[in-house]
Amino acid sequence: MNQLLTPRQAGELHKAIIAYLSSINVKSTNILQDELFIDGTFDDATRKKYEGLLERKWTSTMRLTRRLQELEATNSKLETQLQSAVTVRSHHDSTNWLPDAQPSHTLQSHREGITCMAFHPVYSSLASGSEDCTIKVWDWEYGQLERTLKGHRRPVLGLDYGGPKDQIRLASCSSDLTIKIWDPSNEYANVRTLCGHDHSVSAVRFLTPNGNLLVSVSRDASIRIWDILTGYCVRTIDSQDEWIRDIAPSLDGRFCVAVGDAQTGTIWDYSSGDTVARLLGHENKIECCVVAPIASHEYLAALGPNKSQEKGLFVATGSRDSTIKLWNERGQLIKTLAGHDTWIRGLAFHPGGKYLLSVSDDKTIRCWDLSQDGRLVKTVKGASHFLSCIRWGPILKQSGGTSHVLAIGSADSSVRVWM
């Protein structure tokens, strides 16, 4: 039989046993001491040092055993929950999936309201910008804060990830009149600061996901196109309008939709600076705009005056008049969606194409079914304060299909993530 204990460990154990038996007045301890070859140096004084040692070891062993059993039970429970979660995420109907009342994570660290968000196109990173002048980068899958980016001196108003595949960058803009470019591959070092706007920079967007051109809009009523690799402004478009609050590039990067305080939207050809169409119909300032993905075109075309003949660019705008309006590329209004009680702050088309989601100062997320004439099919209480922005994350490819990630920002300084 293999010995589990070294001779020294065995000797210590034997002495502890002798001391324990002596303490409970077992008469044969002298015989046992001889059989265990414990010599005469093990006197009464030495025995006193070993008394209680065996009981302490025993109780420690029992305590560790109970703790181990508790950890095994907890581990088993977590494995069951994880398997259940993976099953739900990989098998839910991604085309019809909509957020429910409880988010997967609530991300809290900002000290003031959330103004903007952006998902990294490859990694499970979500950047959030705030009125506290910081950008925070989160691991949205685990709900953990990864880092805080400081550099802007006033509230951060816009964020977007983009750039060539091997040079993905995070762009941010602020009321401090600057645009900053951050390098995620170098611990988010601030690699460039772009200056040129004369007032608060309201929003930034990459013209194409993998390109190096960035478009920005500002309270100075201008639209600027930047090359992030050189830092140069390659085109400036003077809208001769009022404060431009949001911008959305077309899917091919040829056009931009800009909206703002003039209560109108404009579709621009950014290469020439020409106006393609004007979006007329809102009765108050326009807060946000979004270009529809190709998956939504069949539903939007069916809403238009020419039904299935509609092609090309489709746009949604949200206004302080509490309405959402849907437009075609000629600037024709094809549908007005009414249901929110106050300002519309953010819009996002569902990646599956069937739904349009909106967030508002009325603290709700509303889901509009484009296949049912834009009918409101779901309302979710999003937070205890105004909802300020909404973004879809990258589509997750899994063995059981696809799943989606949705983030909502709120004036209560938190970001909520649904998966």
337-350: pLDDT as tens digits: 999 999 999 999 99
User: The domain 105-418 belongs to what CATH superfamily?
Assistant: YVTN repeat-like/Quinoprotein amine dehydrogenase (2.130.10.10)
C-alpha angle 300-269-161 in degrees, rounded to nearest 5: 75
Residue 80 has φ and ψ, to the nearest 5°, of -65, -45
Quickly tell me which residue has 């595949």 as its tokens.
165
Residue 56 structure tokens: 């302490």
The pLDDT of 172-187, averaged and rounded, is 97
Burial of 338 per CB tally in 10 Å (0-12, 13-18, 19+): exposed
Does the pTM surpass 0.85? The reply is no
**pLDDT for the residue numbered 58:** 79
**pLDDT for the residue numbered 93:** 65
Provide CB contacts within 8 A for 287, sequence distance 6+: 245, 246, 259, 318, 319, 320, 343, 344, 345, 346
- 319 sits in which H/E element: strand 314-319
**pLDDT for the residue numbered 91:** 42
Do residues 184 and 125 touch, judged by C-beta distance below 8 A? yes
Percent of the chain with pLDDT over 90: 64
Residue 84 structure tokens: 């259940």
The Cα 6–Cα 225 span in angstroms is: 75
Fold for domain 7-84?
Answer: Mitochondrial Import Receptor Subunit Tom20; Chain A (1.20.960)
**pLDDT for the residue numbered 87:** 41
Task: Give yes or no for residue 221 having a pLDDT over 50.
Answer: yes
The domains of the chain are located at: 7-84, 105-418
Q: List the one residue out of 64, 49, 51, 43 whose CA is nearest residue 20.
A: 51
3-class DSSP state of 184: helix
Q: What is the mean pLDDT of the chain?
A: 88
Residue 93 structure tokens: 């109907």
Q: List the one residue out of 95, 104, 85, 96 whose CA is nearest residue 406.
A: 104
